[in-house]
Structure 1
């Protein structure tokens, strides 16, 4: 019976076995693609040629390692401390104030890093320490809200997942960034409401009130860090810089502010940051390379066309299709990393999205938000494991505390899914669709 399996089926089986065997998704897809070419009697170098052309012909991809570098520099500098003090001055005076500080700080930091992991690892470590000090908040709750708020990072521009989606959908990075702003604010509002509700139920303390006379000084100290999103987004939407150039400017600005103004980064720390950033960029690069090779395979097998024909035969309405896509990606998010979903699953769906008349920028925001929810969805939510290791709290306790935030984010996702005008409001102001 195994002899009846097609080369494509053997390729899929090989990828699944390798992934569950512990090999990275990118290398697994490369291996499966090579196996497919060998079984088809084609030159295996086709896979190498395909991925090299894809990598070298995409100038936009350069933004990814540069955004990673900018986020890493901000994490080792004093930028996070200054921003947290600023956020504490704004919202720390309310009940459950440090929870609100967590939400607002993630909102601001997301306008600089573009990465949920960078947010959780950098800003998250500091805010978790503040929340658990003196037993004000349980470690499990501090970890849960930190993981949940980190999902805002890739929605508020800049966004590494949006850059990846732009690659597979051939859409404008600038318009995708603009489309993510209001949904990101909606997600922050939803999590702020959950924190307010939990704080009232559990009697969380009112944190130390920062005197109004100190706010101008605190704001001035945080001003260089707060200017980074302004420079970044102003440059992109003012037509001064491309997103890739803006990523380079963000990295350079973060370095200057950290080393010259705050004087908080040594040469040794900078070298360690460059090394770790290179490893992170390489892992994403391998994932992208593997997806490009495997996309050649699925294109040769006419998989996107087959899926499009199957969906057409089901006579789904636009609403039904979007519900199905959300359920699919939410389910896959429980076991797959967001980048893999964007690079493997989404390209197969795009022909159907176009046939349904669904706007590709709107669809991009839907799938990115959905993929980020997967980062905190049991059993394999990456952010849950990160914050669990930071707090040394059992993962089961963190999962128990994160469910209200997952529920709030799914409600926000539904609003984003079925209200395209809300998502596309800012892109249209900037000329999208004209």
Structure 2
């Protein structure tokens, strides 16, 4: 590799700008502009191609809408009602509060599509509930909140899957379906570890909700529970596209919270819009930077070079998937998930196609890897979020996260090397591969 070539200088510039604290989206834009200047590319032509790509990406509208829906649910009382419903289902078992936390995340996953929204919203309630009267260590409550939030973008709807569809042209609808079984598998793995830890540390058994209260608790939670049914039913019946489903999610969350539960005000709605707009702007800047940098990568023909290079090693689909999983897990310790998804993953897609790996299966495996990266130190964004919410040092949280992390890596191996765990449900709904 020529360390004085325009592409090498671009990589050095990107690395240095990031190390000096410039947001990664801005760093990618600046380094890409430098590259175009050095190779004599017309800036106007490059900008036109990037803008045309964005204008044609109708699917990106789903991102702010799902974020807005999640904010409305967190500000309303939907989360509290879901918590009580989960308590009714699993609260009576040993370690029941941990099970409630996990099941709540599984249900919430069918509404928000964002791990951060799950951890920041339901997590605050869950940690307070688990640590009341010293029933659970704060670090354990924070750890289980972080790991259960990972399920959010695996079970549909999923913002990372929307971004993967943008770079791969895979069907969003089938990607969403492909995430259902892996998401549930992750949830069961976490509940198994929680049961083991509960018996090992003799965590308390909670008093179950009486039979007389069951109909009332279910009825109160029913409007919130219906959201995933409406969204997924609408998508797979052909009534609405995933982007339209995101708009329906936001409208439904607003109507349920404002009209039925009467739990949000005009001020709350404005705050939810403001928060989701800020998050959207952050993601949008990252997407813009990734598209600019991917334009540079395309000019340099990096994906084809990587495909030929990997082809020289005579990789089988199994060894390729093993290699990709290791690379993504390592990168997840160091980089933000969306950066990996938008910059690194497109390099692997041509090789995956050449090896006959299904892009829906590959996409779900990629998303699961990136979600696990959210709880792996030193970056582990979810670890920092729950540490801030709980007021606990990061060290004890990382320690209590490790048993869950190993269980999730085992589940990831099953998802990666048994494609039917992902493709069974899409094929049942007509996916031909």
2:361 — aligned with what? Answer: 362
Partner of 2:166: 167
Distance 1:179 1:425 in 2: 8
**C-alpha separation in 1, matches of 2:60 and 2:270:** 23
Say which SS state the counterpart of residue 279 (structure 2) adopts. helix
2: distance between equivalents of 1:375 and 1:46? 37
What per-residue deviation string (whole Å, max 9, x for no partner) do you get for residues 169-208 of structure 1?
A: 0011000000000000000000000000000000000012
State the match for 1:195 in structure 2. 194
Residue 21 of structure 2 corresponds to: 22
Q: How far off is 1:209 after superposition? A: 1.3
Cα-to-partner distance string for 1:39-75 (whole Å, 9 max, x where unaligned): 1122223443233222111111111110000001000
Give the aligned partner of residue 180 of structure 2.
181
How many angstroms apart in 2 are the aligned matches of 1:21 and 1:225? 44
Aligned to 1:394: 393
User: Any unmatched runs of 5+ in structure 1?
Assistant: none
- Give a deviation string over 1:131-177, Cα, whole Å, max 9, x none: 01100000100000000000000000000000000010001100000
Matched, 1:285 2:284: yes
String of CA shifts for 1:339-387, please: whole Å, max 9, x gaps.
1111001100011001111100000010000000000001110000000
Shift of 1:269: 1.1
Calculate the TM-score normalised by the size of structure 1: 0.98
Unaligned runs of 5+ residues in structure 2 are none
Question: 1:246-257 alignment to 2 at 5 Å?
Answer: 246-257=245-256
Partner of 1:35: 34
Separation (CA, whole Å) in 1 of partners of 2:35 and 2:112:
38
Take 2:46 and 2:379, find their aligned partners in 1: how far apart are those partners?
Answer: 30
TM-score by length of structure 2 reads: 0.99
Matched residues in 1 for 2:62 and 2:190: separation? 29
The CA distance in 2 between the partners of 1:322 and 1:225, in whole Å, is 37
**Contact persistence 1:113–1:158 (CA under 8 A):** yes
SS of the residue 1:48 aligns to? helix
CA distance in 1, matches of 2:159, 2:363: 12
SS in 2 for 1:244: helix
- 1:73-129 C-alpha deviation (Å, 9 max, x unpaired): 000000000000000011100000000000100000000000000000000100000
Deviation at residue 318 of structure 1 after TM alignment: 1.4
What is the 5 A alignment of 1:22-421?
22-421=21-420
For residues 221-260 of structure 1, the C-alpha deviation after alignment (integer angstroms, 9 at most, x for no partner) is 0011111001000000111000000000000000000000
Q: Distance in 1 between matches of 2:77 and 2:247?
A: 20
Whole-Å separation in 2 of the counterparts to 1:278 and 1:46: 29
Give the Cα separation in 1 of the matches to 2:163 and 2:22: 22
How many angstroms apart in 1 are the aligned matches of 2:400 and 2:121?
Answer: 21
Secondary structure of 1:171's counterpart equals coil
RMSD: 1.1
Cα distance in structure 2, aligned partners of 1:236 and 1:89: 30
Structure 2: distance between partners of 1:49 and 1:205:
61
Q: 1:387 to 1:279 in 2, by over 3 A?
A: same
Q: How many residues align?
A: 433
State how far apart, in whole Å, the 1-side matches of 2:279 and 2:228 are. 22
SS at match of 1:51: helix
Is the contact made by 1:82 and 1:221 (CA closer than 8 Å) also made in structure 2? yes
Q: CA shift at 1:27, angstroms?
A: 1.2
Contact 1:117 1:383 in 2 (8 A): yes
Task: Report the 3-state secondary structure (helix = DSSP H, G, I; strand = E; otherwise coil) of the residue aligned with 1:283.
Answer: helix
Q: Secondary structure at the match of 1:152?
A: coil
SS at match of 1:316: coil
